Amino acid sequence: MDYSKRLPSKRRFMGLVQNLSYGEIETYLNSNAYDVAERVHKSGPPRKTGENYFCHPVRAATSAVKTQLHLGIRCYEVVIALLLHDGVEEAEKSEQDPRLVSVEIAFTFGKKMQYVVVYGTKNKSKETGHQFIVRLSHADLIEILWSKCEDRYDNLKTEDQWRKIVEYEECFHLIYDRLEFLVERKIEKEKMHRDLAIKWRRLVPYLKHRNERVKNRRKQVLQKLLDSKKETF
């Protein structure tokens, strides 16, 4: 199957971002992050689904934009984080230097964004999936945990492997709990108006319910496939 025609459109993506009415600098940074992610992933291997890997970070970032539009909140940094979240890891697969990618992120988007991307990257040689999630559950930035929720949402929708449905289940609730704590801290620190605080407090329940709904739907479909295979033997 030819997946080349399924590459995301920057014009369509940025058109959606414009609906959030970010400032000029924030919009420019989102546009730049799109370009960096496209370049990093362009020469890398495709996903197991056969599509260009670049489709995944764009879908995850698009999901974050839609989440913000739905809830009425804004956080341009989480969109950038999702566009770049697999950049360091995928650089190795495309024979690029991940250290240079990390430095470019710091130079272009700031040390904070470099930290978000690096902290949110699993160290496959030293961490199991569960250890990775437990480490993330100690993160001190909303962008790290929100990014992981959007990343998981896209994986749940697109990955066909059963393990993608069940991995991290024993400890993923730690991500939601920590994110909820950070949201409350943000509300208190910024002394948010009551109406805006209510919108931010809807973030974690929204992400959790949405992800669980997709997971359960996929789980039911995959279980039916497994049952049908058993019946044929």
CATH number at residue 105: 1.10.3210.10
Residues 6, 55 contacting (CB under 8 angstroms): yes
Mean pLDDT on 66-89: 95
Per-residue pLDDT averaged across 197-205, rounded?
98
Q: Quick one: average pLDDT of 168-175?
A: 90
Predicted local confidence at residue 231, as pLDDT: 65
**Is the distance from CB of 75 to CB of 142 less than 8 angstroms?**
yes
Model pTM score: 0.90
pLDDT-derived band at 230 (thresholds 50, 70, 90) equals low
What are the residues whose beta carbons fall under 8 Å from the beta carbon of 203, sequence distance 6 or more? 67, 71, 73, 146, 179, 183
Structural domain including 206 reads: 4-232
Total structural domains in the chain?
1
Mean pLDDT of 124-144: 93
Predicted local confidence at residue 233, as pLDDT: 56
From the CB of residue 23, how many other CB atoms can be counted at a distance below 10 Å?
9
Angle subtended at Cα 69 by Cα 192 and Cα 102, rounded to the nearest 5 degrees: 85
